[in-house]
Amino acid sequence: MSTPIPARIVALRDAMTKNGIAACIVPTADPHLSEYLPAHWKAREWFSGFDGSAGILMVTAKAAGLWTDSRYFSQAEQQLAGTGIALMKQRPGQAAEHLTWLQQHLHQGDVAAVAGDSVSVATQRQIERLLGAAGATLRVDLDLPDMAWRDRPALPHAPVFEHPLNYAGTSRAEKFDKLRNAMRKQHATHHLISSLDDVAWLTNLRGSDVECNPVFLAHLLVEVSGQATLFIDRDKLKDDVVAALGADGIRIANYATLGDSLGELKASDTLLFDPGRVVSDVLKAVAADVKRIEGPNPSTAFKAIKSENELAHIREVMRRDGAALVRAFRRLEERLTAGMTQTELDVDVLLRDERSAQPEFVGESFATIAGYMENGALPHYRATPQAHNTLQRHGLLLVDSGGQYLGGTTDITRVLALGPTTSEQRRDATLVMKGMIALSRARFPKGASGPQLDALARAPLWAAGMDYGHGTGHGVGYFLNVHEGPHSVRPPVSGATLVALEPGMITSIEPGLYKPARHGIRHENLAVVVEADQTEFGEFYAFETLTLCPFDRRALEPGLLSPDDRAWLDDYHATVRAALSPLLEDADLAWLEKHCAPL
């Protein structure tokens, strides 16, 4: 029988008392500071019951709170009910609110603790600075959740495989040469990489240690002299993969021995690492006399700019993925018209069936969000057998889904009108569409960043006194994580580094609108930054839309669209029709033609 959440908090507090700890911080993190975690590191979820992808749990002797953002407010309210854990609603741009709360709840001489394998070096410093103002200190050498976590899952053990070179496009040798050139410019002799997508991209390897993300647990230590060490469970690798890595100067060491290798660095060595992407536990092994350079992993910027080979594969994947969605949506419409009972769970199955029939499909890029009516107002909703809606022949269905293919990663959201809609629903869907079109049509100067463009997508909603609480766009990996940095499109944050958008960068464009207990709207395409114009004022860039699937115009109010809006939508649908028609036939082709007809 599963242990109730209050009992888990009691066990955690017992461990705190035994170790003289006044407060325990349980972040959403693993030793690689991943967004999505293997089960072994889902401590925050196990102790709170909240299973959203973002959140921080704070526990003191008398209080417990969970901080999360607006994407999860409704979900967290439901999952925290009866646990004794208070929902603390994190405001946009106030990422350190939980630390301010902690500072207020600690006194002179108190000690807080966070597991050293789940806190970055940068965050550790931030916590220590804030606690120091209250006369409190921080310990990172205690894993209190591990002491109280019964039946903690083992580490994942999925096999690791080569990403075929015809898809990867660039060899390991070329990628490591480029990385070492960047290291030389910074005078680094060694470079530590712990972020899983960087490791996977550099080594041209993929795995499945994290649900929906084709990555594997590993660290990478690169020497500028030409050697590198991959710290990984050797049993995950076939002998031919180990031999191929060895031929490229990459030796294999046990995952748990990274600290030993870091401890061997000498005073004459200089280690490059990203303090926001390396955990405290790892760095403590480095001797104090080893010189350090702190900065972003060069590979993060490299992999964000897709090569022409990668983009060619991505464009073909978009065709296949779009055709799969057309078949799935047509089948859903046919079933509903025939009077068959369909639920949000059936939408998930339909999408999986159609995508899995496509060439080089590997899996989903995230858990499908199929939210009918009020469930669409939960940005990260997930239907379960215990809680889901049955679809009716009216209103709106929001479907956010994606696939992992050897040739790319997809992420798309469409809002389907299942029958008659209200004027409010159509107005809301149209205002969100106007914002999406405005950003998709944008021209911007070289050097512009996502936060500078974000308002373009929000302006139609702002004019109506409405807004949404999430970012407008995120980077997307190439057969990698569906969320990828370093760029994003979101409101400006004070003190945050602005990352310029560059040709080859892929971003989602996904404005939304959410009305609790009523409906949710989100329109989403992926787009790549391309060169547009050269004028007397410099270079200008634009977005090329990559996603290929019709929007359901029955959910829109055409009268609210400007002539430019209508022209963009008609041009987009003409492009979709031309790209997908050769892949479809009979009823599926007729459905496509109907939904791509001009307004």
pLDDT in tens, 345-359: 999 999 999 999 999
Q: Which residues pair with 370 in a beta bridge?
A: 399
Where does the pLDDT of residue 463 fall: very low under 50, low under 70, confident under 90, or very high at 90 and above?
A: very high
The pLDDT, as a whole number, for residue 199 is 98
Tokens of 172: 């390991």
Q: Is 234 helix (H, G, I), strand (E, B) or coil?
A: helix
Q: How far apart are CA 570 and CA 222, in angstroms?
A: 50
> Which pLDDT value is given to residue 159?
97
Residue range 163-180: average pLDDT? 97
pLDDT one-digit tens code per residue, 280-327? 999 999 999 999 999 999 999 999 999 999 999 999 999 999 999 999
Q: What is the residue whose two structure tokens read 């795995």? A: 207
pLDDT on residue 95: 58
Q: Name the phi and psi angles at 287, rounded to 5.
A: -60, 150
Cα(54)–Cα(71) distance, integer angstroms: 9
Contact 350, 373 (CB under 8 A): no
3-state secondary structure of 545: strand
pLDDT-derived band at 123 (thresholds 50, 70, 90) equals very high
pLDDT bucket at 92, cuts 50 / 70 / 90: low
| Residue pLDDT, tens place only, 139-148 | 999 999 999 9
Tell me the CA distances in angstroms from 18 to 13, 46, 131, 135, 579, one per residue in order: 9, 21, 21, 21, 64
Bridge-partner residues for 137, per DSSP? 111
The pLDDT tens digits for 324-346 are 999 999 999 999 999 999 999 99
Judge residue 386's burial from the number of C-beta atoms within 10 Å of its C-beta, 0-12 exposed, 13-18 middle, 19 or more buried: exposed
* DSSP 8-class letter at 72: G
Q: pLDDT confidence of 494, banded at 50, 70, 90?
A: confident
Q: Which amino acid is at 355?
A: R
Q: What is the pLDDT of residue 93?
A: 60
- CA distance from start to end of the chain: 57
Q: Looking at domain 161-296, which CATH architecture does it have?
A: 3-Layer(aba) Sandwich (3.40)
- Stated as kind and residue range, the H or E segment containing 111 is strand 111-114
Please count the residues of the chain: 599
Q: Is the peptide bond preceding residue 563 cis, with omega within 30 degrees of 0?
A: no
pLDDT tens track for 96-115: 788 889 989 999 999 999 99
pLDDT band at 72 (very low <50, low <70, confident <90, very high): confident
Answer whether 479's CB lies under 8 Å from 520's CB: no
Identify the three-state secondary structure at position 373: helix
| Mean pLDDT over the full length of the chain | 96
Tokens of 517: 């207990």
Q: Do 5-148 and 308-595 fold alike per CATH? A: no
- For residues 218 and 258, what is the distance between their CA atoms, to the nearest angstrom? 10
Q: Print the SS3 string covering 303-314.
A: HHECCHHHHHHH
Which residue has 């031929």 as its token pair? 247
Q: Fold for domain 5-148? A: Creatine Amidinohydrolase; Chain A, domain 1 (3.40.350)
State the DSSP H helix or E strand holding residue 445, giving kind and residue range, or none if neither.
Answer: strand 443-445
CATH topology of domain 308-595: Creatine Amidinohydrolase (3.90.230)
Tokens linked to 122: 């940068």
A 10 A CB-CB count for 97 gives: 16
- Token readout for 587 is 């009823």
Q: Per the structure block, which two tokens stand in for 206?
A: 């993929």
pLDDT attached to residue 94: 59
Tell the residue number behind the tokens 């050697």, with chain if given.
227
Confidence of residue 69 (pLDDT cuts 50, 70, 90): confident
Q: What pLDDT is attached to residue 209?
A: 96
pLDDT average, residue stretch 43-56: 94
Q: From the CA atom positions of the chain, what is the Rg in Å? A: 25
CA separation for the pair 158, 249 (Å, rounded): 24
Residues near 560 by beta carbon (within 8 Å), at least 6 away in sequence: 427, 430, 431, 434
Structure tokens belonging to residue 527: 């787009």
Indicate the SS3 state at residue 10: helix
- Domain ranges (residues) in the chain: 5-148, 161-296, 308-595
305 beta partners: 505
Q: Is the peptide bond before 486 cis (omega within 30 degrees of 0)?
A: yes
d(CA 248, CA 294): 27
- 40, 156 Cβ separation under 8 angstroms: yes
| Residue 538: band (very low, low, confident or very high) from pLDDT cuts 50, 70, 90 | very high
CA proximity to 229, closest of 275, 190, 188: 190
